[in-house]
Structure 1
Amino acid sequence: MLVGAYGAGKTSTKRSLFNEPYETKHLSTDGADVYSIDITKWIIKECTTDYKGHKSVEPTQKLLGDVLVSGMTEMEYGHREHPATKAEVANVLNAVKLEGERISDVFTRLGPYKLVPWMRKREESDVYFSLWDFAGQSIYYITHQVFLSSRVIYILVTDLTKSLDDTLPVDDVHNWKIKEFLTFWMNSIHTHASPGPGIRLKQLDGSYKMATEPPVIILGTKKDLIRKENSTEAAAAIDGEEREAQKRLLEIKEFLRKHATQVVNNHVINMIAIDNKSRKEDGTIADPAVETLREKLQQLAKEYFFLGKVKAKWIHLELSLKKLQKQKVSLDEVKKFGKELKMEEAEVMKALEFYHDIGEILYFGSIPEMENTVILDVEWLVNLFTILITKSITYKKDLDAPSKINGLIDELHNEGRLHEELVDYILKRHEREEDKTILMKMMELYDIICEMPTNPKKEKSLYYLPSLLQKDAEGKNSIIFPANSSVHCHLYIHFVGNFLPEGLFYRLLVRCLKRWPESIAVIRKHKARLYFPKEEFYITMCKEDADIQLKILSIPAGDQHSPPPQSRHVSNVRKLIEEELRVVVKTYTPNLVYHPSFKCQCPNHRVGELLQGSEDADDKCVPLSGDKSSGVCPRSGMLMKDRKLDMWYWTGESSSHSIT
């Protein structure tokens, strides 16, 4: 998977790997482009424009043919020791027959059973890969959990013409430094792509061990643009650019080792600098470093075994489904094909689970509305996400869009509320109306949206969708924190390593809104205020760098004095937030570590500097100790107390009317 900042050169790197012509200008990737690839010949498999499965039909046929002649058919078809029957062999031969072939041609191509030992040596023919070119714009980061996986070799692309302190726009308002992009992507891979089952790493002695982390290659691009100005001769210029490229890679390495030591040690396999632009006279890539990258990817492909053993009938089932040339089918259709292959229903479901795990076929049986839908084309699903995410922005500038639609887009970007009417409009423009249920249920499944309680007489639904919020205008903070409000207590949840994904904060907010349907919510970018009418108090949740800040507010009605909220209600709120946070972290970012904290007021803190013996930058946070009212300051070593925390950790009797 190619990942990195917008404009870093991910798509140009893809073109270099496969000897495609360099393009000076090209459209930025929208969501993710997915290609079926052969890393032995470095070619992209051709797919039809209507269907873009990871593996097209032909490589699946060849893979099944290899399995057949290697003897797995006898072991897996019928689970017996004696050879398969003529009918069973004929069934498989018809499946692996390529276009225009006769059965006799298949025998000639595959070889009779006496060629089994020769076929077993063809290791490279048994492995097929998909290449994902992932969009670099921040608007897509909310989809990381859907597509980042432990069964991936990552190529983190960065532009070597920019220093670590140079900035790039991360959205319409914010800029990030290059070093922030690098740490963001390394942390995203580490936290989202935790180890999964079936990943084996080949050792030098030929044995295998379970791999702990997915591998990452850090790739510096635009090497040709950093050659020394005083190097006029071609040879000197090339030598100068190579030295400068290695120097900049070393700077990146030292920075990451200092600020993300554990992440780098666990993931980074190699660092390579390449020139994507230069071509030889025959059109092939000129920079030998591209071949180095290819060889490294081939080496990793041999060392990291992501699939494990696959039953021949499972591959036969996959082939039967891909031959349909459809984006999605019903579960009933899949079971029908399985029955024809003499597969029990339980085995069909196990095969679907396997293909879902490796990202070839998606099946979300846990969602009632999707339990009869099997998605065969993953890129089709990526594009479905993309339509809503990007078009909600582009249609704002569309002169043909009705003024009401512009108003609904404003409401989405300014207040985080998504109208079903807007979804209908966007999907209709792209002729995807029939996919609406899948889109909405997928976003609900991944805690991207939740339905708002609305007037039951209304035909159209209304949803919270905070991840597409845009930055407030200056001075708008008073919407969340009115001038006459009183803050009763603070609590911070600090994320170790100073990494709090924006998507995680919004997912936590969405889950809390689901749990508190009676609350009245006002949400803005990185912050929200919820009012509990029965308990008569407010809570705010804000993302501040690597911290989630919680505050309890009182806002008087007119001149009337507002009493502080009861501690038991505040404690119940905290317990629920912590409960939902545990679920969100375990589900989406299992490698994240966090702890409840308070802000220390001692003068010893140097905000932004790394704490001694830690990868944490100082932000004044002090982790709470066991008594939940004190903690040891990491700067002074002194025990600090904050008595206002007592309201959050009330230990009295339970309220008869508590928030749950």
Structure 2
Amino acid sequence: MSDNSSGVTAGQGKEDEMVPTEIKLMADKRSIDLYLKLLESGSEKKRDIRLVVVGKQGAGKTSLIRRLFGEDDIKDVTSTNGIKIHKIKCKAMSDDGKWNTLDENYEETETNARLLKEYVGKLQDKRTIKEPVEAHIAFKDNTPVTSVDESKKLETASKQPDIIKPPSEHPVNPQQPNQSSEQAAKDFETMLSAKSKVDVNDKEEYATFMLWDFAGDEEFYHTHQTFLSQDAIYLVVTKLNEAYDPKAQALFRLWIDSIHCYSRLEEQNIISDDKTTTSGDLDPPVVIVGTWKDAVKLEADTVEEACRKSLLVYTKNLADDERGHVRIEYFISNEEDDCSVFQQIRLDIINLARGMRTWNKDYPLKFIQLEQRLQEKKKELPIITYQEIKHISTDTPNPLSEEELILFLEFHHDLRSLVYFKDLPENIILDTQWLSDAFKCIVTAKKFQATTKIQTKWDEFYHTGQLNYEVVEYIFKKETTILYEHKEYILKVMEKFDIIIRPNQLEGADENPCFYVPCMVKAEPEIDIYKMFNVTKDIRKRSTWLCFKFIFLPPHLHNHLIASLSRKYNIAERVVTGQKERQIALFKSTAVFELEETTKLRKLLVMTCPNVIQIQVWEFGEDIKNGWYKYIADFVTEELNTIMHTRFKMSNVKFEKTWECGLTEPKCVTGSNKFLEEPITEYQCDTCQIKHMFIDEWSDQQNKALTVSVIWSIYHVQHTSCLHQLSDDKNK
């Protein structure tokens, strides 16, 4: 069995450099040509940066963010529940080091500015406007008041609609020119009379940060993976005074490993002025922030040396390629350091952003127009129907075709600026903060769980991962009306992200069953898994272990695989003495599935050990034979590749398939045996210390070898017989 390799080969050439990674990696390769055509119809430079802050609970992430925002008072900081998303605007070129947090009206104003500057530039190029347009608008009784000159410009603009529309060489809707012109004039007037000031004379280039503050509690890690990205800057925050705590070390390594899954070595990295990016660096870039500097024991000549010694404890076991992500290291005290320390961090982050491949990319004006409309809509509701967004997308001066609209939605879904699933067409989530808040209603740390009238069922969920529908009803009913009204759709989205599992429904079963939430399962099997299902120690009844060995196994991958298998097979149930209800065999790192739902004579065991996913089949009927389970091996292989490379774009995650004797205890499985091109018939088992026949249940290689052997034997017999016959005839 060969190693998996479903990497995506990006197109070559100058035009391909203009296409975002998310577009390149789409399954439909026509998306690249479509995006390039969109750019031809008009574009502007995009400088949006994703900044993700991760680290252990209590490391000081939220305090750090406040200090970066220029807040000195951090005494009332509380733990983050789920994910908190902040929008920040800063000057991209002049480096004044100021970050301005933005209110809810900013997105609309900023989009207006982007469009307006582009329009004015085009108009000035055509000599239709000699003087720059000034759009500082005063308001009186909610009515915009403009100067005489501006009024004349608006009047002129209204009389020349085909000049005002977005720069495009071709008319967008020739059958309805008046409607398009009227809408263009209306949009232009809206931009000039924006609720916030738009200064088209401002030649400064601005960048917008989307800062994602991830909670440090373990329960949130699975949902966090939903929002990780290749094109982000990561601030990994760790407590310097906990350097010798194994748990702190493990969590630091988990985040570095998780980020490394998305690594990409650029052929030609851009090198910024301060040399923060070099040709040997790996993206995504990582900034390590060591906090609690004031609590580090001074076992060196200086505080700086003591802090560096502590950080080396965290980083000493990192692989060489993982170190390629680390650009800068800081040792700080959120409470004691002055503002100049955080000013320097802000400057270094913007310099890192300039060196990223996503910096200053051309972006279609058609997309900006739709963003503008959706930003207005998002103020009303965080969720919208597909038909409504389709209507909005065609009601712009430069309408989007349905193909372009779907590309817009899929692109922004990959960016997680909205959530869109083609097979869930009824709704689109415009506000990812709202979605994150919905996630944390169910997947949350115990300290954030509110006291409920159904506490017993809540405790059962927290321990076993079984979520009773009554609990779901109670949770969402306590939240906002809009959340409760869209409860069913949110549950479907959580299924798409593999956060919850909806069990296969049997005919006549309860319409409101329990859900399974694998990432919340804390329970371990109370007895040996073989004793639990009365599996005999017989090599004819236990298949060989099939092992998927990773250099690093992303922590959420097991849960995604369990979700994939549960859509194909039912999770096995067992009778527990003294209990009326059956219990499902879903545990932390272990699950058992029914391969034969009617007879229950064949089951699949799935287990996760450090950097290994291992599976085994149990036979309670016939003996295991060659090649019986190739379809299971193929299914698991395909699902793992789809999860890693298609859904999460983790281009750097790979595995190899190996095997182990089926009588080896699960915790002792290492997968030390490789599948060979030349099939074998027997082997000396290190576990049993005896010779075994090699059955090779997971592939048809052995069967092919046997078939070839049989054919050759038949041919040999027939050929020998013919030779003997010829010899006899000759003698006669």
Shorter-chain TM-score tier:
0.7 to 0.9
TM-score where L is the length of structure 2: 0.68
Give the superposed CA RMSD: 4.1
Q: Distance in 2 between matches of 1:630 and 1:393?
A: 56
Q: Distance in 2 between matches of 1:200 and 1:57?
A: 35
What is aligned with 1:159? Answer: 239
Equivalent of 2:193 in 97, 117, 131: 97
Which stretch of structure 1 is more off in the superposition, 31-40 or 533-542? 533-542
Partner SS, residue 566 of structure 2: helix
Flag structure 1 segments of 5+ consecutive residues without an equivalent.
112-117, 168-175, 231-238, 280-284, 556-561, 602-606, 609-617, 634-639, 654-660
Q: For the structure 1 residues 531 and 7, does the alpha-carbon distance in structure 2 shift closer, same or farther, using more than 3 Å as the test?
A: same
Matched, 1:277 2:335: yes
Q: Which amino acid in the other structure matches residue 136 of structure 1?
A: G
What is aligned with 1:553? Answer: 618
Equivalent of 1:530 in 587, 593, 599: 593
Which stretch of structure 1 is more off in the superposition, 204-213 or 63-72? 204-213
Partner SS, residue 362 of structure 2: coil
Q: Distance in 2 between matches of 1:448 and 1:11?
A: 25
Residue 86 of structure 2 contacts residue 210 of structure 2 at CA under 8 Å; is this kept in 1? yes
Partner SS, residue 511 of structure 1: helix
Q: For the structure 1 residues 571 and 350, does the alpha-carbon distance in structure 2 shift closer, same or farther, using more than 3 Å as the test?
A: closer
Q: Distance in 1 between matches of 2:196 and 2:333?
A: 42
Q: Distance in 2 between matches of 1:70 and 1:626?
A: 65
Partner SS, residue 569 of structure 1: coil
Structure 1 position 411, deviation (Å): 4.6
Q: Distance in 2 between matches of 1:219 and 1:631?
A: 54
Partner SS, residue 391 of structure 2: helix
Q: For the structure 1 residues 567 and 538, does the alpha-carbon distance in structure 2 shift closer, same or farther, using more than 3 Å as the test?
A: farther
Question: What are the residue-to-residue correspondences of 1:478-489 with 2, within 5 Å?
Answer: 480=532, 482=534, 486=538, 488-489=542-543
Residue 527 of structure 1 contacts residue 543 of structure 1 at CA under 8 Å; is this kept in 2? yes
Map Cα deviations across residues 295-328 of structure 1 (whole Å, 9 max, x no partner): 1101012222526212334223212221230312
What is aligned with 2:471? Answer: 422
Q: Distance in 2 between matches of 1:539 and 1:182?
A: 34
Which stretch of structure 1 is more off in the superposition, 458-467 or 424-433? 458-467
Residue 480 of structure 1 contacts residue 528 of structure 1 at CA under 8 Å; is this kept in 2? no
Q: Distance in 2 between matches of 1:401 and 1:442?
A: 27
Matched, 1:334 2:389: yes
Which stretch of structure 1 is more off in the superposition, 138-147 or 346-355? 346-355
Residue 122 of structure 2 contacts residue 167 of structure 2 at CA under 8 Å; is this kept in 1? no
Structure 1 position 583, deviation (Å): 2.3
Residue 4 of structure 1 contacts residue 182 of structure 1 at CA under 8 Å; is this kept in 2? yes
Q: For the structure 1 residues 327 and 511, does the alpha-carbon distance in structure 2 shift closer, same or farther, using more than 3 Å as the test?
A: same
Partner SS, residue 451 of structure 1: coil
Partner SS, residue 450 of structure 1: coil
Residue 72 of structure 1 contacts residue 312 of structure 1 at CA under 8 Å; is this kept in 2? no
What is aligned with 2:320? Answer: 261
Map Cα deviations across residues 430-468 of structure 1 (whole Å, 9 max, x no partner): 132122133222222123333223343322144333221
Partner SS, residue 626 of structure 1: coil
Residue 549 of structure 2 contacts residue 658 of structure 2 at CA under 8 Å; is this kept in 1? no
Q: For the structure 1 residues 392 and 348, does the alpha-carbon distance in structure 2 shift closer, same or farther, using more than 3 Å as the test?
A: same
Q: For the structure 1 residues 322 and 493, does the alpha-carbon distance in structure 2 shift closer, same or farther, using more than 3 Å as the test?
A: same
Residue 464 of structure 1 contacts residue 510 of structure 1 at CA under 8 Å; is this kept in 2? no
Q: Distance in 2 between matches of 1:248 and 1:341?
A: 57
Residue 291 of structure 2 contacts residue 331 of structure 2 at CA under 8 Å; is this kept in 1? yes
Q: Distance in 1 between matches of 2:367 and 2:187?
A: 14
Q: Which amino acid in the other structure matches residue 493 of structure 1?
A: C
Structure 1 position 141, deviation (Å): 1.6
What is aligned with 1:236? Answer: none
Q: For the structure 1 residues 393 and 531, does the alpha-carbon distance in structure 2 shift closer, same or farther, using more than 3 Å as the test?
A: farther
What is aligned with 1:182? Answer: 252
Residue 630 of structure 2 contacts residue 698 of structure 2 at CA under 8 Å; is this kept in 1? yes
Rg (Cα) greater in structure? 2
Q: Distance in 2 between matches of 1:391 and 1:253?
A: 28
Equivalent of 1:79 in 148, 163, 168: 168
Q: For the structure 1 residues 358 and 489, does the alpha-carbon distance in structure 2 shift closer, same or farther, using more than 3 Å as the test?
A: closer
Question: What are the residue-to-residue correspondences of 1:46-125 with 2, within 5 Å?
Answer: 46-47=102-103, 56-71=107-122, 77=166, 79-80=168-169, 88=184, 91-95=187-191, 97-99=193-195, 109-111=199-201, 119=203, 122-123=204-205, 125=206
Map Cα deviations across residues 604-657 of structure 1 (whole Å, 9 max, x no partner): xxx99xxxxxxxxx9573443334769999xxxxxx99755523335449xxxx
What is aligned with 1:559? Answer: none
Q: Distance in 2 between matches of 1:628 and 1:140?
A: 45
Q: For the structure 1 residues 622 and 401, does the alpha-carbon distance in structure 2 shift closer, same or farther, using more than 3 Å as the test?
A: same
Structure 1 position 98, deviation (Å): 2.9
Q: Distance in 2 between matches of 1:133 and 1:358?
A: 16
Residue 597 of structure 1 contacts residue 623 of structure 1 at CA under 8 Å; is this kept in 2? yes
Structure 1 position 153, deviation (Å): 0.8
What is aligned with 1:134? Answer: 214
Q: Distance in 2 between matches of 1:519 and 1:159?
A: 42
Q: For the structure 1 residues 576 and 349, does the alpha-carbon distance in structure 2 shift closer, same or farther, using more than 3 Å as the test?
A: closer
Q: Distance in 2 between matches of 1:445 and 1:56?
A: 28
Which stretch of structure 1 is more off in the superposition, 413-422 or 641-650? 641-650
Residue 596 of structure 1 contacts residue 624 of structure 1 at CA under 8 Å; is this kept in 2? yes
Structure 1 position 17, deviation (Å): 0.8
Equivalent of 2:302 in 240, 249, 271: 240
Q: For the structure 1 residues 349 and 509, does the alpha-carbon distance in structure 2 shift closer, same or farther, using more than 3 Å as the test?
A: closer
Q: Distance in 2 between matches of 1:72 and 1:334?
A: 30
What is aligned with 1:463? Answer: 515
Structure 1 position 110, deviation (Å): 2.1
Matched, 1:543 2:611: no
Which stretch of structure 1 is more off in the superposition, 305-314 or 324-333? 305-314
Residue 156 of structure 1 contacts residue 185 of structure 1 at CA under 8 Å; is this kept in 2? yes
Structure 1 position 189, deviation (Å): 1.3
Q: Distance in 2 between matches of 1:92 and 1:270?
A: 44
Map Cα deviations across residues 77-121 of structure 1 (whole Å, 9 max, x no partner): 251299x989846632413533277xxxx6xx324xxxxxx73xx
Structure 1 position 155, deviation (Å): 0.6
What is aligned with 1:202? Answer: 270
Partner SS, residue 541 of structure 1: strand
TM-score where L is the length of structure 1: 0.75
Question: What are the residue-to-residue correspondences of 1:254-403 with 2, within 5 Å?
Answer: 254-256=316-318, 260-265=319-324, 267-278=325-336, 285-286=338-339, 288-306=340-358, 308-324=361-377, 325=379, 326-342=381-397, 343-346=399-402, 347-364=404-421, 366-368=422-424, 371-390=425-444, 395=449, 398=451, 400-402=452-454
Flag structure 2 segments of 5+ consecutive residues without an equivalent.
1-51, 92-96, 125-162, 172-179, 574-583, 685-689, 705-732
Residue 452 of structure 1 contacts residue 464 of structure 1 at CA under 8 Å; is this kept in 2? yes
Which stretch of structure 1 is more off in the superposition, 458-467 or 179-188? 458-467
Residue 217 of structure 2 contacts residue 445 of structure 2 at CA under 8 Å; is this kept in 1? no
What is aligned with 2:89? Answer: 38
Q: Which amino acid in the other structure matches residue 412 of structure 2?
A: Y
Q: Which amino acid in the other structure matches residue 519 of structure 2?
A: S
What is aligned with 1:146? Answer: 226
Map Cα deviations across residues 168-195 of structure 1 (whole Å, 9 max, x no partner): xxxxxxxx3x33222211111122x355
Residue 37 of structure 1 contacts residue 45 of structure 1 at CA under 8 Å; is this kept in 2? yes
Q: Percent identity?
A: 23
Q: Distance in 2 between matches of 1:620 and 1:476?
A: 21
Greater length-normalized contact order (CA 8 Å, ≥ 6 residues apart) = 2
Structure 1 position 339, deviation (Å): 2.4
Partner SS, residue 302 of structure 2: helix
Residue 571 of structure 1 contacts residue 649 of structure 1 at CA under 8 Å; is this kept in 2? yes
Structure 1 position 21, deviation (Å): 2.7
Q: Which amino acid in the other structure matches residue 53 of structure 2?
A: L
Structure 1 position 30, deviation (Å): 1.0
Partner SS, residue 235 of structure 2: strand
Which stretch of structure 1 is more off in the superposition, 457-466 or 642-651? 642-651
Q: Distance in 1 between matches of 2:466 and 2:70?
A: 45
Q: For the structure 1 residues 246 and 70, does the alpha-carbon distance in structure 2 shift closer, same or farther, using more than 3 Å as the test?
A: farther
